[in-house]
């Protein structure tokens, strides 16, 4: 069971932002770890809110595992590739089967239908048991 303590996920995203030397306000999109468990999704939502404060509500967030399933060791790589495709196509895939979100999960999760949206900075999260947390901060390449 995922711990409701969100601080590891918070540190992971904050470190990615700090290492990239950007402001949290630059992040447009988060490909969430989001495995669809009540505790895990609430915890990640708390972490996003802790890092981005009120700005969390303007960020587009999705759960690609809702489409791919949990690919375990391959999940992080596949989700990074999906995030790169978002840059290329300016289209964010949906979080499918999201009909009644938990009241504690109130961010913009892109329910059920992909949207066109320009993304310049994105975070792709991968969180695991025992505090194995990784957040990739990616930037769109502009020629």
Q: What mean pLDDT is reported for the chain?
A: 92
CATH topology of domain 7-139: Peroxisomal Thiolase; Chain A, domain 1 (3.40.47)
* Separation between Cα atoms, residue 70 and residue 102, nearest integer Å: 21
Question: What are the tens digits of pLDDT across the range 22-54?
Answer: 999 999 999 999 888 888 899 999 999 999 999
Residue 93 buriedness (CB in 10 A; 0-12 / 13-18 / 19+)? buried
In whole angstroms, how large is the CA radius of gyration of the chain?
14
Q: What global pTM score does this model have?
A: 0.93
Run of H or E including 127:
strand 121-127
């Amino acid at each position: 069971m995922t711990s409701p303590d969100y601080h590891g996920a918070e540190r992971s995203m904050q470190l990615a932002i700090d290492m990239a030397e950007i402001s949290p306000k630059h992040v447009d999109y988060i490909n969430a770890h989001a495995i669809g468990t009540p505790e895990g999704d609430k915890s990640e939502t708390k972490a996003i809110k802790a890092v981005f404060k009120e700005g969390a509500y303007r960020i587009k967030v999705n759960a690609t595992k809702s489409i791919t399933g949990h690919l375990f060791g391959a999940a992080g790589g596949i989700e990074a590739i999906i995030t790169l495709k978002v840059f290329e196509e300016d289209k964010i895939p949906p979080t499918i089967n999201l009909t009644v979100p938990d009241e504690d999960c109130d961010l913009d999760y892109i329910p059920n239908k992909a949207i066109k949206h320009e993304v310049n900075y994105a975070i792709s999260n991968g969180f695991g048991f025992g505090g194995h947390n990784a957040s990739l901060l990616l930037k769109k390449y502009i020629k």
